[in-house]
Structure 1
Amino acid sequence: MSVDLVIFDCDGVLVDSEIISCRVYAQALSRYGYPITADQVHDRFLGRSSRETRLEVERELGRMLPDDFQAQLNAELFGELETSLEPMPHIDEALDAILQPVCVASSGPLQKISVSLNRVGLTQRFAPHIFSATQVNRGKPAPDLFLYAAMQMGAEPSRCLVVEDSVAGVTAARAAGMVALGFAGGSHCRPGHGESLRHAGAQASFVDMRQLYDIISQF
């Protein structure tokens, strides 16, 4: 294939944020009567949109979370991100080497993506080509977000390559007819994570962003 567009997930790919997000989300849910650990949030909700995560939690609780739950969660999470978030090691080097157009397609809301990219100085690398699951009907693992990103960028899905760190994201990329690469180098990734991503459909997995250019070149 010829790669016309490289689509990056944000959390766990561009920024090393998943440990922060899982911890804050677990604390918020536990506070409202849904006891859960950061590891359990990782296992169940990694890569999925906040909207779909909330609906699943509310179904299990049998009641709605408070109307301002998302606002409270965002305030806590954005505060943590603004003070402690780090870019994924060597991401600038990887982006410098890529010749194709790039964009971001993340399960997070646009405000969270903006906070994250601004914090690590990556906004100008991608703006205005930044897309969120809030802009489509279904989040990952459905293909909607990646298909929307390809349409906005004027690229054929079959000529798009997606860099993802979650099984839900890899599944979404494959459902969209795109090649998926699994990144397993984030601080949240456990032993065997790359194998899980390949099992979900990733064409290859890698743990160092300096490997990305060579992998893309193979296509």
Structure 2
Amino acid sequence: MSIELVICDCDGVLVDSEIIACRVDAEELGQRGFPDYTLEIVLRRFAGMSQHDMIASIEKETGLTIGGDFARAVERRVQEAISTDLQALPGAAEVIGSLALRKCVASSSRPDKLDLALSVTGLRKYFDPYIFSSVLVDRGKPAPDLFFYAAAQMGVPPQRACVIEDSIAGVTAAIAAGMPVVGFVGGSHCSSQHADSLLALGAAAIVSHWSEIPDVIGRLN
């Protein structure tokens, strides 16, 4: 069955924001008495997950409460950084604009952060109004709920949707949804081992630049 829909993650796929968000998370965690959750750990374990799920995991592991104002503090700092520093990943606008397929965004980010990131980088016009946040489903990535939701909203069977993802949580969610997934490792947060991790989870291919994506999708058809 041919690919009809491309579902794009946002952070680390369309925009180079994952490193910004994870750095702020790690700094805030350190200031609140969680020094073991370094930037490296946050990137490896929690990139692609909703902040709600990250907080729940850390509090379960440590038996400690992070604080009710953590999310607001992080959101304020991340939005400031996005407003001034955020860039689209090279080639994203050109490739998205030229793809003769339906397109949408499915992201773990909250709607306000997602809207800001896509607006600041000029990418919103390529997807609007098909921009879906994990707040719309009961379970975020690595559960498949958000990808099922996006495909249903677009009227496309899951097996005809191709996901572009950079995170372990996102690739896991796409595989669980029965969707072919392309692992994107072009973000500044990706380590040299990241490609192997995504392949091991079941990514159909790995790309490091948006210019590679049309050929990869063509091979999946």
DSSP-derived class of the 1:210 partner: helix
The amino acid that maps onto 1:73 is V
Aligned to 1:153: 154
Identity of matched residues, %: 46
Contact kept? 1:9, 1:106, Cα under 8 Å: yes
For 2:61, the aligned partner's letter is E
Determine helix, strand or coil for the equivalent of 1:128: coil
Q: Map residues 1-219 of structure 1 onto 2, 5 A cutoff.
A: 1-35=1-35, 36-218=37-219, 219=221
TM-superposed CA distance for 1:60, in Å, is 2.7
Task: Note the alpha carbon deviations across 1:14-73, whole angstroms, 9 max, x for none.
Answer: 001111111101011111111121111101101111111011112233233322221111
Count of residue pairs the alignment pairs up: 219
Which deviates more from structure 2 when the two are superposed, residues 176-185 or residues 53-62?
A: 53-62
Q: Secondary structure at the match of 2:57?
A: helix
CA distance in 2 between partners of 1:51 and 1:124 (Å): 28
SS at match of 1:178: coil
Query: Partner amino acid for 2:26?
Result: A
Deviations 1:72-121 (A, max 9, x none): 11001110111101100010121122111100000111111111111101
Tell me the distance in 2 between the aligned counterparts of 1:75 and 1:144: 28
Shift of 1:145: 0.5
Give secondary structure in 2 for the equivalent of 1:10.
coil
Cα displacement string for residues 155-210 of structure 1 (whole angstroms, at most 9, x for unaligned residues):
10011000000111111001001110101111111113222111111111111100
- Unaligned runs of 5+ residues in structure 1 are none
Distance 2:21 2:197 in 1: 21
Could you list the per-position Cα deviations for residues 128-163 of structure 1 after superposition, in whole angstroms to 9, with x for gaps in the alignment? 111111111111111001001111111100110000
Distance 1:102 1:195 in 2: 27
CA distance in structure 2 between the partners assigned to 1:193 and 1:139 by the alignment:
21
